[in-house]
Structure 1
Amino acid sequence: MYRSRVRYPDDPGMHNVGGFQDGDKYTKVSYKENPSLLDRISQTFAGGLLGLGIFVVSFFILFANEGRAVQTATALEECLSLVIPVENSNMIYQENNNKLIHITGYLRTDQALKDGMTGVEIQAVKLRREVEMYQWVEHKRTREIKENKQTKIETDFMYTKEWKNNLISSDLFDNPHRHQNQREFPIKPTTYVAVHTYVGSYYLKEGLKAKIEEFISYTPKTNPPDPNIKYVDGRFYTGMPRTPQVGDARITYSYAGLSGPQTYHLGPPNIVSIIAKQSGSQLTKYQTQSEMAIELLHYGEKTADEMVQDEVDANTALTWLLRAGGWFMMFMGLYLMTNIINRLVSWIPLVRTLVSFGLTVFNLTVSFTLSLITISLGWFYYRPLMAIALIAVALTPSIITYIRGQRKSEDNRV
């Protein structure tokens, strides 16, 4: 059961609440009954169900990750064996039609990208308009104090005005009436993309353009045509820049894939290296025998070998990251499912410590073994011998423990 009251900023001692120095602030105090052993066990059953769900999902993540990893590795091997290097990106070689090719060259677009609202214009593959809105932000800190059969909960709230690029709903605030935000941005963020993008004479399809994502901040030096928009220090404002109000917008820009002429004021166009299928004069995705699409674009001048090796390294890093994440999810799932035992003995400190240690070792061992078995099953179709070896490694600790147990039993009989 909860009971609560609120101390407002004009209460004594409210000048520095919970470490807050300034702003609209107050403290809410509430009380709840300390849960009984039965309540804690019932909460643990709910945690056990959550743990079961996490445990099941971890199997899916581990198994799917191995399938993805081996499919990617196979596709990259095939790519390296089939790719045809093209020395001159300004020439279209019809004999390479529908084949996997590698080219390197400067990005090129046929017209500049322009935001008509502010007049910002740039010769690039992408121009991104980023928008922030001046909004109320709620900060809170909670402290729990045990008091006999009750727990006192003190929550400090403070509201500040900040520039945010995501919409903050004031309806979810503890005190929304005095801190209301707009329900939508006055200006929408957007990304302009060049319709026609080339490397030499080769036209890039949408999949390759989507890979041009290295955005660089851009500071325009032009005044906006709209008199309601102010330009100050490289940014555009819908209100007064020095004294913004809640609901005002601030606009900044960035670009990706510089593609202007060699004399362009931002520097030369970006050089990119591409591995993709030539379809006439277009570059698009190539379907490998492992049913994976190959469509690679890297910044800089790279050989096909270097590009493939970079992809192999990225695939390895992602595979190990997901393996670690899947194992941790499995461990947490087991922890939540076995935590009920801790609850049952929580009133005996020494027993609780011993049981907690034993369960932790058990959960670590089981999660490691099951993770390794799941990973090996993911490789079984592609590398059966490796899969069998991994299963043997995973089961070794259990087999050793079983053999030792049998020997102890025999010794006790003797």
Structure 2
Amino acid sequence: MVQVTERIHRGLFSRLFNSIIGVAIGFVLIPVSMMLIGWNEYRTIHRAKGLIEGESVVVDLANSDNIDSAYSGKLIHAIGLATTSESLSDPEFGVSGKLLQLRRMVEMYQWVEKVESKTRKKIGGGEETVKTYSYDKQWLPGREESENFHEVSGHINPQQRFSAQQSISNHATFGAFALRPEQVSKIDRWTEARLDEGSLFEKFDLAERERFKVEGGYVYYSHRRPDSTAPQVGDQRIRLEVVQPTQISVLGKQDQNAISPFKTSNGEIIDSLHVGQVSASEMFANLKQQNTFLAMLLRVAGWGLSVVGFMLIASPLKTLTDIVPFFGKMVGAVTFFIAVILGSCVSLITVSIAWVAVRPLYSISLLTIVCVVIFILLRRRWNPDKTSRQQISVIEQTQQ
């Protein structure tokens, strides 16, 4: 492994200027976080209502081999075999067959740059950042742009001889129904393709065939003689995978001879596909879990933006106190704690306001909790409790 070190020095005024810009960004992030949280609550409830409606009207098809016009336009659930009459093939390697999907995954042995930064505060408000650039060789998909490395000399990655590709059947069927390519792409039961070394390299000339080697499910390629145990920069390894016809479960609208996205009365789209035999109730349970997970993820993201916003607003104070690094650390810890409290309050208030129209009882309860917490914090901050005052009085009397 090769390492290169770089030192960057920044003075107090440079840092203070950046922190003032951070204040402006902070005042933007807080309303953005509120809008994100509010929109997310609306989206979550809207989606939940759509899924409840869909689950109440879905029709289970007993047989996907026949199309019943009575269910045209309705939300249906069906289980059957996904297959295709179309033959897919790799344009360069001899792999082909009546497949739902075929992909070529390509990795290149190449230089990789990793950067580690350590920042040290200095007396007077300045700071020193030490960046360590390390270079190592790894198998990775694609090509790392070595021309953008900090230290280009001696770490150049060549262009790839082969690139990754994927083919999807455009004529796949599901019983009597046709499958859209985007539905086929969701069938992800990948298996290793059978490699026939006799036909695998037919499209290459004799000289280039010597550069290939099949080992452990990979096709190795090198400008020299390939060696999987001692690869050289620029060597590639290729893995071919396929999706064979398989059993699937589909949820969507019966649209003539296809299953298309179903739109509920509130505009929510229901369009789901699972590999294997999955019941309608299980598929809806999965959709509800996805909705809940996304809701929590966006709530955390909104809360995080709010906390960062408050920290940026307080950043000039921390920068000034960094004149003495010890005090800077203390102020940083305090501002972080306050930012977490304020960010949490803003997030909870935004959620409760967003719930007013759809969950008024939850909204009132949440607002009450937030107000009580704020009241307790303010009371403890500005008015010591009765017990504390009594303890102080007892101590004074004892001293007298």
Mean CA deviation greater in 342-351 or 115-124: 342-351
Determine the structure 2 residue equivalent to 1:359: 335
Asked if 2 retains the 8 angstrom alpha-carbon contact of 1:370 and 1:394, the reply is no
Determine the structure 2 residue equivalent to 1:201: 176
Per the TM alignment, residue 377 of structure 1 is displaced from its structure 2 partner at its CA by 3.5
> In the TM superposition, what are the counterparts of 1:11-410 in structure 2 within 5 Å?
20=1, 25=2, 27-28=4-5, 30=7, 32=9, 35-36=11-12, 38-141=13-116, 156-182=132-158, 184-212=159-187, 214-223=188-197, 224=200, 225-227=202-204, 228=208, 230-233=212-215, 234-239=217-222, 240-242=225-227, 244-256=231-243, 258-259=244-245, 269=246, 271-347=247-323, 355-400=331-376
Asked if 2 retains the 8 angstrom alpha-carbon contact of 1:207 and 1:295, the reply is no
Determine the structure 1 residue equivalent to 2:397: none
Report Cα offsets for 1:187-241 as digits up to 9, x if no partner. 23121101122221121223422432x3535143212223335241122234232
Per the TM alignment, residue 325 of structure 1 is displaced from its structure 2 partner at its CA by 2.4
Structure 1 segments unaligned to the other structure (5+ residues): 1-19, 260-268
For 1:236, give the aligned amino acid: V
Change beyond 3 A, Cα 1:291–1:145: closer
Which is helix-richer, 1 or 2?
Answer: 2
- In structure 2, C-alpha distance between the alignment counterparts of 1:146 and 1:350, rounded to whole Å: 9
The residue matched to 2:73 in structure 1 has which SS? coil
Per the TM alignment, residue 137 of structure 1 is displaced from its structure 2 partner at its CA by 2.3
For 1:345, give the aligned amino acid: T
Per the TM alignment, residue 96 of structure 1 is displaced from its structure 2 partner at its CA by 0.6
Per the TM alignment, residue 84 of structure 1 is displaced from its structure 2 partner at its CA by 0.8
Change beyond 3 A, Cα 1:388–1:254: farther
Mean CA deviation greater in 148-157 or 47-56: 148-157
The residue matched to 2:143 in structure 1 has which SS? coil
Mean CA deviation greater in 172-181 or 63-72: 172-181
Per the TM alignment, residue 286 of structure 1 is displaced from its structure 2 partner at its CA by 0.8
Determine the structure 1 residue equivalent to 2:394: none
Change beyond 3 A, Cα 1:30–1:205: closer
- In structure 1, C-alpha distance between the alignment counterparts of 2:238 and 2:361, rounded to whole Å: 58
Asked if 2 retains the 8 angstrom alpha-carbon contact of 1:47 and 1:337, the reply is yes
- In structure 2, C-alpha distance between the alignment counterparts of 1:376 and 1:147, rounded to whole Å: 44
Per the TM alignment, residue 74 of structure 1 is displaced from its structure 2 partner at its CA by 1.1
- In structure 2, C-alpha distance between the alignment counterparts of 1:273 and 1:286, rounded to whole Å: 15
- In structure 2, C-alpha distance between the alignment counterparts of 1:160 and 1:211, rounded to whole Å: 35
For 2:270, give the aligned amino acid: I
Determine the structure 1 residue equivalent to 2:395: none
Asked if 1 retains the 8 angstrom alpha-carbon contact of 2:189 and 2:275, the reply is no
Change beyond 3 A, Cα 1:186–1:67: farther
The residue matched to 1:124 in structure 2 has which SS? coil
Asked if 2 retains the 8 angstrom alpha-carbon contact of 1:215 and 1:254, the reply is no
- In structure 1, C-alpha distance between the alignment counterparts of 2:308 and 2:167, rounded to whole Å: 43
Asked if 2 retains the 8 angstrom alpha-carbon contact of 1:219 and 1:235, the reply is no
Determine the structure 1 residue equivalent to 2:392: none
Per the TM alignment, residue 407 of structure 1 is displaced from its structure 2 partner at its CA by 8.0
Asked if 1 retains the 8 angstrom alpha-carbon contact of 2:121 and 2:325, the reply is no
Mean CA deviation greater in 313-322 or 286-295: 313-322
Change beyond 3 A, Cα 1:51–1:286: same
Mean CA deviation greater in 74-83 or 113-122: 113-122
For 2:214, give the aligned amino acid: V
For 1:107, give the aligned amino acid: A
Change beyond 3 A, Cα 1:293–1:152: closer
Aligned length: 372
TM-score by length of 1: 0.78
The residue matched to 2:178 in structure 1 has which SS? strand
For 1:336, give the aligned amino acid: L
- In structure 2, C-alpha distance between the alignment counterparts of 1:122 and 1:106, rounded to whole Å: 17
Change beyond 3 A, Cα 1:40–1:30: closer
The residue matched to 2:138 in structure 1 has which SS? strand
- In structure 2, C-alpha distance between the alignment counterparts of 1:343 and 1:381, rounded to whole Å: 43
- In structure 1, C-alpha distance between the alignment counterparts of 2:263 and 2:303, rounded to whole Å: 32
- In structure 2, C-alpha distance between the alignment counterparts of 1:284 and 1:368, rounded to whole Å: 41
Mean CA deviation greater in 218-227 or 271-280: 218-227
- In structure 2, C-alpha distance between the alignment counterparts of 1:249 and 1:54, rounded to whole Å: 44
CA RMSD between the two structures: 3.3
Asked if 2 retains the 8 angstrom alpha-carbon contact of 1:133 and 1:249, the reply is yes
Per the TM alignment, residue 61 of structure 1 is displaced from its structure 2 partner at its CA by 2.6
Structure 2 segments unaligned to the other structure (5+ residues): 390-400
Mean CA deviation greater in 342-351 or 164-173: 342-351
Asked if 2 retains the 8 angstrom alpha-carbon contact of 1:136 and 1:170, the reply is yes
For 1:90, give the aligned amino acid: D
Report Cα offsets for 1:280-338 as digits up to 9, x if no partner. 12111111111121111122222211211121122112211221222122112211211
The residue matched to 2:79 in structure 1 has which SS? strand
- In structure 2, C-alpha distance between the alignment counterparts of 1:340 and 1:152, rounded to whole Å: 18
Determine the structure 2 residue equivalent to 1:7: none
- In structure 1, C-alpha distance between the alignment counterparts of 2:127 and 2:327, rounded to whole Å: 26
Identity %: 26
The residue matched to 1:92 in structure 2 has which SS? coil
